[in-house]
Structure 1
Amino acid sequence: MIRAVRIISVLLVLLLGGVWAMAWFGRAPGESVADAFLRRIATITGMEMPAPSAGGIQLAQGVALGGPFTLVDHTGRTVTERDFAGRVLLVYFGYTYCPDVCPTELGTVAAALDAMGPAGERVTPVFVTIDPERDTQAGMADYVSRFHPRMIGLTGTAEQIAQAARAYRVFYAKVQPRDTTEYLMDHSSFIYLVGPDGRVRSLFRPETTPEAMAAAVAAQLRAL
């Protein structure tokens, strides 16, 4: 039995390694390795998502994202998915030490909400760290304040973050460059539009413009 488990584990590692290599060499221009990896996995499992539309990437039928979580917000308060019930959210998973894509995407979220005018007040921007080792409650409070006054930062234990990431199918992994004690986090970079029921309605790819995001979110609000 133990031998069989070891063989299966080795085969799984080899499979994922092969998919990662395919993602690395087959990614589209401007596409991150993480996003290409997730796209390959979706293709293999038969859950390829359709091309982006004006409303972002619509989820394939039968695919559900979002679910229960327990985290700590940037004020130190423990929150769950129930605390956001009835609210429309724009959720992004990243980390405060991110050198480029995270601040860019959070800036896009903030600009989209501002572009929506009064309607933007109905949407709550949420930033979830995938680096709880460094992203403390105080650090998150400082970070989210730089983007939008209503943005909520969420952190927690490594296990709590992993649970939330699984619910949204977020990929993340620590990357340790040679000859340094510092590290980066490789991660998928979608922005999730979450409905009042706590389920993801659509996704936005990296580099979606604030204008396109604002139009898509406004359309979703009108449909509620």
Structure 2
Amino acid sequence: MISITTENLTLRLRRKVEFGKGAGRKPASSLHIRDREKIDMRATSTLTMALPALLALGSPAAAHHPGDKLDEVMISKEHFFQMIDRPAPPFNLVDADGRQVALSDFADRIVILHFIYAGCPDVCPLHAEKIAEVQRMVNISPMKDRVQFISITTDPANDTPEVMKDFGPAHGLDPVNWIFLTAEESQAEDATRILVKAFGHKFKATEDGLQVHGVVTHVIDRGGRWAANFHGLQFDPINLVLYINGLTNKHRKPPEPTLWERFRSWF
């Protein structure tokens, strides 16, 4: 019998989904849209077959599920992981249609949050596409209805509703569980940049209309607990998916007692 470890399966999966990143190939961002669609279809097909087995290794029934040691395991696996474990800063913002959205609206989900602005010429589009890659993996698993992806603009003045509505499709984000938020008209123009500071980093506006900033993906557990950060663009998206899965399993309700167990509890 062949034994497949989480590490082996992760390595195989990574090799398959990165077939388009080898020497002599164009970066995904420079590919023609049809070529990118082909890559997405092949990658999604591979993930559809491999991810359930990978996540099964992370289920509560598996012998090596990290459980309460989830953060320790991720620290050992992912160089760009940072454990936080404190309440997330609350926010009340609006979506592209002007509907009010609060972080507390997603208290029953795991939230993947990041800050960007549509006019960013370099890392923001790459960050959005990294989040989209994670979202695709999550959405082919049972976690789809348990995870909410949120992008928040740090440039409310220029990221108009039209710009916000075009941003997701342009970068592969699926509105089924992704939303793009901005400040309300009654809020200060720098309201979301102030919110960034509450999450531990900065977007500093410059005179040429750009912003100097870092790149951080925030993971907020159910109940509003700020669980962790994944820094930069070099983290392995599979590790973020496994971390989300670990949080999901951590919150699973115990099975309902059987009729016999309830009967015995009476005595």
- TM-score interval for Structure 1 and Structure 2 normalised by the shorter chain: 0.5 to 0.7
Residue 190 in 1 paired to residue 216 in 2? yes
Unaligned runs of 5+ in 1: 1-49, 177-181
User: 1:71 is paired with a residue of what secondary structure?
Assistant: strand
Asked if structure 1 preserves the Cα contact closer than 8 Å seen for 2:113 and 2:151, the reply is yes
Asked if structure 1 preserves the Cα contact closer than 8 Å seen for 2:96 and 2:164, the reply is yes
Matched residues in 1 for 2:143 and 2:206: separation? 36
Q: TM-score, normalised by structure 1?
A: 0.66
Partner of 1:88: 110
Max Rg structure: 2
CA offsets per residue over residues 164-219 of structure 1, 9 Å max, x none? Answer: 3243223111123xxxxx42111121100111112210111112122222222222
Q: 2:132 aligns with which of 104, 110, 122?
A: 110
Q: Which of structure 1's runs of 4+ aligned residues deviate more than 6 A?
A: none
Q: CA RMSD in A?
A: 2.3
User: 1:64 is paired with a residue of what secondary structure?
Assistant: strand
Matched residues in 1 for 2:164 and 2:76: separation? 32
Q: How many residues align?
A: 167
Q: CA deviation at 1:113?
A: 2.3
Q: Which amino acid aligns with 2:219?
A: L
Matched residues in 2 for 1:174 and 1:106: separation? 20
Q: CA deviation at 1:77?
A: 0.5
Matched residues in 2 for 1:57 and 1:107: separation? 21
Q: Which amino acid aligns with 1:185?
A: Q
Q: CA deviation at 1:72?
A: 0.9
Q: CA deviation at 1:53?
A: 4.1
Asked if structure 2 preserves the Cα contact closer than 8 Å seen for 1:119 and 1:218, the reply is no
Matched residues in 2 for 1:109 and 1:80: separation? 20
Q: TM-score, normalised by structure 2?
A: 0.57
Unaligned runs of 5+ in 2: 1-71, 252-267
Q: 1:110 to 1:159 in 2, by over 3 A?
A: same
Q: 1:69 to 1:188 in 2, by over 3 A?
A: same
